[in-house]
Structure 1
Amino acid sequence: MERNDRVSRALMVWLFMVLLAVAAAWVTISLVNEYMYGPETDVRSYFNHLEDGDGARALGAINGQVPDGTDATLLDGDALKQATETLEDVRISTISQDSEGAVVRAEYTLAGEQHSTDYNLHPAQTQWGFFTVWAFDETPLPTLTVSMPGVTSADINGTSAALPGSQQEFAALPPGIYTASYNSEYVDAQPQSVALTSADQDESVTLEPSASQAMKDQVQQSISADLKTCTDQQSLYPSGCPFSYEFDGRVQGTPTWKIVEKPEPSISVSAGSADSSRGWSLSPANGVAEVSFTSLDLYDGSTEEVTERVPFTYDAELGFDDAGAVTVSR
């Protein structure tokens, strides 16, 4: 009898250990399934690929569908890596999950602003009979359309991107900040940034051309040189110049001129002309010259020093010579 009791107790201990091992195995499988094979793992991997600038892996991970007719320049390399330079505080959580699929939310900041993106995933297969492998549903990519009249390329996130017909639609991987800009010797455009955070987002920016500082400097140099040909003339009526001084008396000696307020015309370029020598123009600008001379009284021979300010308007055309240098002509 005593022997049977010992056998029973041993059997119960053995059964308890088996049940404990099964429970431990189940807990282990559940934890591994959640933290190594769960849908959040796929989203974390996707974000890692984005921050590495690895567009091929990111595109494959998200099951991204590139819209027809879009340019792929932003989907890899420096353009992609720069898009996530300000990506911080990434927090990933499962919003819902069942046997058919899961919704995983990524919360993060871009350039200091809070954003969130939801990703849809589905069970793709099972490994070892226990572990569920998840995959993203087909994800259409957001697009960014960049246009700038008169140019054939622009910079997006520091990468040169072609703009055939002065416009192009680019596919992009969310989330990220994409900044379009343009800079050449004579033309600048104020950079414009867009945050792309969701699959159904389609944004567009138009860059407005303006004269670069180099262009402004050359225009001022040309105007100064032009006006110098006028101030060098020792006459009250400089030939071919925008200013003169009416005086009925007699001048003793020679008059002298100087510019005391330089005209500073605005520079503009019409649509479609930013990358060419056509379409550039200068607005009329006001300036002030100063003339000095000695007047002679013919009756008594007395003299008087005269200095007068002479307002004038400078009106000229802006162009380029055969070498591409800026020309200003009245």
Structure 2
Amino acid sequence: MGNAGEVQRRVSLLAVAGWAGLATLLIAAFLAALGGLNQSIYGASSFVKGYLEAIADDDIATASTTPGVALDDATLEELGLPADISTAMLRSGVVASAPEDISIVDDVTHSDGSHSVTASYRLGTEIAESTFEVRPIEALYGVLARWQFSDSPLAVIDVTAAHNPLFTVGSLTLDTRATKTGDELAAFTQVAPYLAIAPAVYEFSYDSPLLAAPHVTVPASAAEQVAVTVDAQPTPAFVERVQTKVDEYLAACAAQPVLQPADCPFGIEIDDRVTSEPVWTIVTTPQVTLTAGEDSFDMPPTEGVAHISVELQDLFDGHYYTREEDRPFTLALAATIRPDGSIAIQLQ
């Protein structure tokens, strides 16, 4: 009986040892799997690649809410940016070209646990590389690694909207006056900074019946500050509308049966007696050309010719005669677009 008990005790010990060994193997396998996950799916490289792939998918909501992307007030102040800087460009449908063919080419681990991750990608027709500094944050469920950017990869694009406060980027039209007040609202040229997801390429332009700006492509690297000018110039329709107003103005001047039409650029002084109503006609109308000035679109002094026909009596010998004479004149003006889309003209 004693021997049987001893055997049973030894069998029990072996069973416990076996289960303990199996448990150890399972724990080791779990830890190894966890380590593999933290090196791959939950690794720093995957974190960076996921951010770039979100941009590639035009999932700007995901990209902009990636940990470490948003800029707080303290960081904005440190970067010299206004606290109310526009985030209007942080949305889908704005990026013209996003990173493609993304691959991680280097991942350096530092002693403090942070990583320097270098990604290669194609941006438009160019192959580019960017290095992102990332650091660990509180683990998911206490075991799965999580990361954030040490420095935000957001770019800042300083937009100069020349001669028109509006501009278009991607499918979005923005107003550079959005956060301005007072006299700033009336400025002919507006400048405003915008936060933009990066790396990415943006295309700026503006097209309306009266104004158009050439398309400008702007690549923005991560954490870069770049500038773009959207140079709005008058369209042929704008020039035509101003020309029509000039023609109407000169026609009204010519309709005045006087030697000196009021508020008009032409007239004549005659010493002899006028015996008929003067008749004015416009021989040559100044052709409107518009270029951007400091606060308006300006037409430089441009020559025109008016003609007068009037019956006169010579005060010296009393004979009657008809005077026909061309009278050259110049006309200059400044044109602006009112908020309602009408054109305001100021003669110079």
Bin for the TM-score computed over the shorter chain: 0.5 to 0.7
| Aligned equivalent of 1:220, options 228, 239, 243 | 243
Residue 344 (structure 2) aligns with: 326
Residue 62 (structure 2) aligns with: 57
Alignment partner of 1:139: what SS?
coil
- Does structure 1 residue 264 correspond to structure 2 residue 294? no
> What is the alpha-carbon distance in structure 1 between the residues aligned to residue 98 and residue 114 of structure 2?
27
Alignment partner of 1:283: what SS?
strand
> What is the alpha-carbon distance in structure 1 between the residues aligned to residue 103 and residue 336 of structure 2?
57
> What is the alpha-carbon distance in structure 1 between the residues aligned to residue 308 and residue 201 of structure 2?
57
> What is the alpha-carbon distance in structure 1 between the residues aligned to residue 105 and residue 338 of structure 2?
64
- Does structure 1 residue 103 correspond to structure 2 residue 116? yes
For 1:119-158, what per-residue CA distance to the aligned partner results, in whole angstroms no more than 9, with x for missing partners?
Answer: 12345577899x9635233222332233447876654442
The size of the alignment, in residue pairs, is 282
Residue 93 (structure 1) aligns with: 104
The 5 Å alignment of 1:119-198 reads 119-123=132-136, 133-140=145-152, 141-148=154-161, 154-157=167-170, 158-161=172-175, 162-164=178-180, 165=184, 166-181=190-205, 188-190=212-214, 192-198=216-222
Question: Which runs of 5 or more structure 1 residues have no equivalent in the other structure?
Answer: 1-20, 247-253, 272-278, 293-306
Alignment partner of 2:117: what SS?
strand
Residue 47 (structure 2) aligns with: 42
> What is the alpha-carbon distance in structure 1 between the residues aligned to residue 64 and residue 160 of structure 2?
25
User: Among the aligned pairs, what percent are the same residue?
Assistant: 19
Asked if the contact 1:234/1:257 (under 8 Å) is kept, the reply is no
Asked if the contact 2:289/2:299 (under 8 Å) is kept, the reply is yes
- Does structure 1 residue 118 correspond to structure 2 residue 123? no
> What is the alpha-carbon distance in structure 1 between the residues aligned to residue 169 and residue 146 of structure 2?
33
| Aligned equivalent of 1:286, options 303, 306, 310 | 303
Asked if the contact 2:109/2:116 (under 8 Å) is kept, the reply is no
Counterpart amino acid of residue 136 in structure 1: Q
Counterpart amino acid of residue 226 in structure 1: Y
Distance 1:322 1:143, change over 3 A: closer
Distance 1:176 1:244, change over 3 A: same
- CA offset at residue 58 of structure 1? 1.3
Asked if the contact 2:64/2:90 (under 8 Å) is kept, the reply is no
For 1:220-275, what per-residue CA distance to the aligned partner results, in whole angstroms no more than 9, with x for missing partners?
Answer: 1011223334667899x7846656899xxxxxxx989564564224354434xxxx
Asked if the contact 2:53/2:99 (under 8 Å) is kept, the reply is no
Counterpart amino acid of residue 65 in structure 2: G
Question: Which runs of 5 or more structure 2 residues have no equivalent in the other structure?
Answer: 1-24, 77-82, 185-189, 270-277, 310-323
Asked if the contact 2:212/2:235 (under 8 Å) is kept, the reply is yes
Alignment partner of 1:217: what SS?
helix
- CA offset at residue 176 of structure 1? 1.7
Residue 302 (structure 1) aligns with: none
Residue 10 (structure 2) aligns with: none
Distance 1:59 1:189, change over 3 A: same
Counterpart amino acid of residue 120 in structure 2: E
> What is the alpha-carbon distance in structure 2 between the residues aligned to residue 49 and residue 106 of structure 1?
14
Counterpart amino acid of residue 64 in structure 1: V
> What is the alpha-carbon distance in structure 2 between the residues aligned to residue 32 and residue 321 of structure 1?
61
Alignment partner of 2:65: what SS?
helix
Asked if the contact 1:265/1:284 (under 8 Å) is kept, the reply is no
- CA offset at residue 175 of structure 1? 0.9
Counterpart amino acid of residue 221 in structure 1: T
Asked if the contact 1:70/1:171 (under 8 Å) is kept, the reply is no
- CA offset at residue 45 of structure 1? 1.6
Alignment partner of 1:315: what SS?
strand
- What TM-score results when the alignment is normalised by the length of structure 1? 0.61
